[in-house]
Amino acid sequence: MQARVFDAFQLSGDAEDIGYQHGQLLAPRIETNLDFYLSMFGLAQARLWDLARDFKTIITEFNPDYADEIKALAAGAGVDERYIFVLNARSEIYNSTVAECTVLWHQNGPSLAQNWDWYQAAEALTVLLRIERADGHRITMLTEAGIIGKIGMNSAGLGVCLNILRVRGELRGVPVHILLRAMLDSCNLEQVVVLKRRAGLGKASHVLVADAAGNSLSLEFAGEQSFEIKPQRGTLVHSNHYLEEAELDTGEPFTSTLERYDCAREALDALGQQVSVGQLQELLLNQDLEELSINRAYSNVSQSTIGPVGTVFSIVMELAKGRLHVHKGPQDSRPFYTLEC
């Protein structure tokens, strides 16, 4: 049985070229993605424009090239640029109550793996972008139409993964999707550390970055605080609760986060010092706990008002080999497919 694949698009040139190509090639999906998130935000137009102005300023001050890319993306898609600025800050504007994502890192072997769990509607709006800058630096990532950074790896052997977390209060820092793009534009972990300091706080997410040499950096952001998570026995696991400061996990925890973390931690420990691509793929497709599993079939959850939630994609990254293995949608009998970065 053949694998299901995400549509892939090649973008190249400077910031404006990349943005315009993105917008032009994906215009219908960007419009649908905007409708999806605007419905989720439920904000009055005046409030939305205030947020667009604020995040445009934040992104421009962090990296003017990303602001130029977003403006060109909007022009290519034929939409008001303010919508694209809020779309790229969607995790900060809508601090989700729906659990998403299990992330794994192993010091030996393929290195980095993740399930991205979100609304079923997002599967049709997820694309594979291959970006080649003018200097030859390449990025291969899975992202949502209209969002300029997400999950993937680059030609320098650096890979990034993401978990949503939650805190009380407004989040007004450099958006996490912009930070992910900046990390993918980096060549080594030293540059990522500098980026983390420059980007500051104002997010509620966990970002896991790893390189081809077997090094990693695990960062929890909690509004006006941040923490670094150290590996355990040469591995890292993260789901949707804080590991460093448990008291931040206030209120009702994300559904399944504790179960997914425990299952992944136990399974990764059982694999020992070496791990194969196939073993990580099997781990990401695990459905032993049904709706609490690492891999979730699309189904309704009590917190959801948009539709069924499940595993949109699974990805295993062999950073030293420049290779990605992707599974589209929840676990089924179809195989992963393989890409070269």
221 occurs within a structural domain? yes
Q: Which of 92, 125, 144 is the last residue of a domain?
A: 92
Q: Are residues 86 and 124 in the same domain?
A: no
207 occurs within a structural domain? yes
Tell me how far apart the alpha carbons of residues 105 and 115 are, in angstroms, rounded to a whole number.
12
Q: What per-residue confidence (pLDDT) applies to 307?
A: 83
Q: Are residues 49 and 61 in the same domain?
A: yes
Cβ atoms of 30 and 79 closer than 8 Å: yes
Q: Residue 238: which domain range?
A: 94-340
Q: Are residues 235 and 312 in the same domain?
A: yes
Q: Which of 25, 59, 92 is the last residue of a domain?
A: 92
Q: Are residues 32 and 60 in the same domain?
A: yes
Q: What per-residue confidence (pLDDT) applies to 62?
A: 98
Edge-to-edge strands of the sheet including 151-154? Answer: 8-13, 126-133, 138-144, 151-154, 159-164, 203-210, 216-223, 225-229
Q: What per-residue confidence (pLDDT) applies to 321?
A: 97
Q: What per-residue confidence (pLDDT) applies to 250?
A: 63
Q: What per-residue confidence (pLDDT) applies to 156?
A: 98
Q: Are residues 84 and 102 in the same domain?
A: no
At 64 the three-state DSSP class reads helix
Tell me how far apart the alpha carbons of residues 269 and 116 are, in angstroms, rounded to a whole number.
22
Task: Indicate the number of domains in the chain.
Answer: 2
Q: Are residues 206 and 323 in the same domain?
A: yes
Q: What per-residue confidence (pLDDT) applies to 251?
A: 56
Task: Say which CATH number the domain at 86 has.
Answer: 1.10.10
Per-10-residue mean pLDDT of the chain, 341 residues long, equals 96 98 98 96 96 98 98 98 98 80 92 95 97 97 98 98 92 97 98 96 96 97 96 95 85 76 95 92 95 91 74 97 98 96 95
Tell me how far apart the alpha carbons of residues 7 and 193 are, in angstroms, rounded to a whole number.
32
Strand runs labelled E in 124-183: 126-133, 138-144, 151-154, 159-164
Helix boundaries (H) for 167-246: 176-184, 189-199
Q: For tokens 């917190």, name the residue.
A: 303
Tell me how far apart the alpha carbons of residues 13 and 11 are, in angstroms, rounded to a whole number.
7
